[in-house]
Amino acid sequence: MLVLTGEKVENKQVLVNKSMPTVTQTPLEGSAQPGQPQYRDVPITYKGSTDSYIEKVMISSNAEDAFLIKILLRQTRRPEIGDKFSSRHGQKGVCGLIVPQEDMPFCDSGICPDIIMNPHGYPSRMTVGKLIELLAGRPGFWTGDSTTGRPLGAARSIRKKDRDADSKSTAKSRPWVDEDLQDDTEIGTRGEEDSDWPGGEEDVPHVPYAPTRYPGDVMLRRSREFYTLMNERRSVRFISPEPVPREVIDYVIQTAGTSPSGAHTEPWTFMVVADAEVKHKIREIVEEEEEMNYRQRMGDKWVSDLRKIRTNWIKEYLDIAPYLILVFKQTHGIHSSGKKKTHYYNEISVSIACGILLAALTNVGLVTVTSTPLNCGPQLRLLLCRPTNEKLLMLLPVGFPATDATVPKLTRKNMDDIMVFM
């Protein structure tokens, strides 16, 4: 459980429902493997006499799924004498006097000044920047743009595209790191990193491309038929043990591999498990973690939202389904030179590949349930001997639906609710 941005928090309220392994030491190499790690609750609480609001929450994790969570709190306070303030420009000062409105100077039309300044401040401090900030901040506030206090070109309000252009021109430009799109893309330092974005395809010849073109009526029929097919797709949790031809699975995976990917890095590994013993070990790991997720980690709201789907931590399908496909995202790749290869937007790329995989399964009459077993990644990665740059994204049990399979009676949103046309 984690507080949400915008939430109000009171004294002693839990911010992060953290649990820690009781044993944190890594076992010596060659020593007997310990059993499943035990966890104890160590909640992180808010301590403060006045309430706060959550301004920002940042979650990050490394390849071992060790999490780093940063929470920025905001409080509204009434200024008092002795409080220290600073503008973004760094013009700081301590409040020495609070003047009642009626004692403020005013002109003959009754207007009070916004700023009263000691002229000595001009030459010795960053006063110009401070004034630019005060003045440009106002239009910036109204238009929602950033403003800059540069001496030349002064308070030019810069729109996002200009900001992006600005940041691209700097040596540390990281155009793919947009606030909304941060994933686990591991970015090396300059020099350590390859230079395959955006000019990575410079050496690749460009060849003519002419995919099949359909007449209008055929297009319409095909679009309707594909929708009808995909609208039949459901997450099925009752899977038949009936064997599925291996070649079909091969083609399904190959289809998923046609997905687009950031800078064509193809940052995916599809691990297909058919071995009964390995499937059972996967089930044991998933069920143990899922039980803890349901009982401790997910919180009442999440568990109650899942009630209509009737899911719990018992995952029989992990033993029964003829195949388990574990989709790993590669947070980075390795060049033949041994250098790290950046996998831009790896999570988004692998998620698109998973979508194509689901469509390919539906196309051949196979079913699955998209599952994202929380906290199982590292254990499953070790079990399946995958390298540390691979992180489990999805676990898909695949097969024919059981003859008595049922699904929750869900409806899908209407076109009007999902499409905005302009």
Ligand X SMILES: Cc1cc2nc3c(=O)[nH]c(=O)nc-3n(C[C@H](O)[C@H](O)[C@H](O)COP(=O)(O)O)c2cc1C
Retrieve residue 180's tokens: 């909304």
| Residue 234 binds ligand X (CB under 6 A) | yes
Are 264 and 346 spatial neighbours (Cβ–Cβ below 8 Å)? no
Q: Among 91, 148, 157, 235, which residue sits at the site for ligand X (rule: CB under 6 A)?
A: 235
Strand spans (E) along 264-420: 268-273, 323-330, 332-334, 340-342, 390-398
- Window contacting ligand X (CB under 6 A); options: 258-266, 340-348, 368-376, 381-389: 368-376
Q: Which is nearer to ligand X, 146 or 311 (CB)?
A: 311
* 3-state SS assignment for residue 398: strand
| Residue 396 binds ligand X (CB under 6 A) | no
Distance from C-alpha of 292 to C-alpha of 286, rounded to nearest angstrom: 10
The H-or-E segment that residue 84 falls in is: strand 84-86
Distance from C-alpha of 170 to C-alpha of 164, rounded to nearest angstrom: 10
Site for ligand X in 196-225 (CB under 6 A): none
| Residue 89 binds ligand X (CB under 6 A) | no
The H-or-E segment that residue 15 falls in is: strand 14-16
Are 350 and 393 spatial neighbours (Cβ–Cβ below 8 Å)? yes
Q: Which is nearer to ligand X, 133 or 184 (CB)?
A: 184
The DSSP secondary-structure symbol of 232 reads T
Which residues are registered as beta bridge partners of 401? 239
Q: Among 15, 369, 392, 398, which residue sits at the site for ligand X (rule: CB under 6 A)?
A: 369
Q: Which is nearer to ligand X, 315 or 340 (CB)?
A: 315
Site for ligand X in 370-389 (CB under 6 A): 370-372
Are 94 and 82 spatial neighbours (Cβ–Cβ below 8 Å)? yes
Q: Which is nearer to ligand X, 167 or 372 (CB)?
A: 372
Min separation Cβ 1 and ligand X, Å: 17
Q: Among 248, 311, 359, 364, which residue sits at the site for ligand X (rule: CB under 6 A)?
A: 311
* Cβ-proximal residue to ligand X, closest one: 235
Site string for ligand X, 135-174 (x = CB under 6 A): ----------------------------------------
Q: Which is nearer to ligand X, 326 or 369 (CB)?
A: 369
Q: Which is nearer to ligand X, 53 or 313 (CB)?
A: 313
Min separation Cβ 192 and ligand X, Å: 33
Q: Which is nearer to ligand X, 46 or 313 (CB)?
A: 313
* 3-state SS assignment for residue 191: coil
Q: Which is nearer to ligand X, 249 or 361 (CB)?
A: 361
Q: Which is nearer to ligand X, 9 or 350 (CB)?
A: 350
Distance from C-alpha of 397 to C-alpha of 395, rounded to nearest angstrom: 7
Which residues are registered as beta bridge partners of 60? 68
Min separation Cβ 402 and ligand X, Å: 15
- Residue 406 sits at the vertex; the CA angle it makes with 317 and 227, to the nearest 5 degrees, is 100
DSSP letters of 91-140?
-EEE------GGGS---TT-PPPS----TTHHHHSSHHHHHHHHHHHHHH
Min separation Cβ 391 and ligand X, Å: 14
Min separation Cβ 233 and ligand X, Å: 7
How far does Cα 112 stand from its chain's mean position?
48
- Window contacting ligand X (CB under 6 A); options: 1-9, 70-78, 94-102, 231-239: 231-239
Q: Which long-range contacts (CB under 8 A, 24 or more apart) does 23-26 make?
A: none
Q: Is 191 left (phi over 0), alpha (psi -120 to 50) or beta?
A: left
Min separation Cβ 235 and ligand X, Å: 3
61 Cβ contact list (under 8 Å, min separation 6): 67, 68, 184
Residues in the interface with ligand X (CB under 6 A) total 11
Q: Which is nearer to ligand X, 274 or 407 (CB)?
A: 407
Q: Which is nearer to ligand X, 293 or 342 (CB)?
A: 293
- Window contacting ligand X (CB under 6 A); options: 4-12, 135-143, 233-241, 294-302: 233-241
The H-or-E segment that residue 44 falls in is: strand 44-45
Site for ligand X in 398-417 (CB under 6 A): 407, 410
How far does Cα 236 stand from its chain's mean position?
26
Torsion of CA 70, 76, 80, 86, to 10 degrees: 50
- Window contacting ligand X (CB under 6 A); options: 36-44, 72-80, 360-368, 369-377: 369-377
Contact positions toward ligand X, by CB under 6 A?
234-235, 237, 309, 311, 369-372, 407, 410
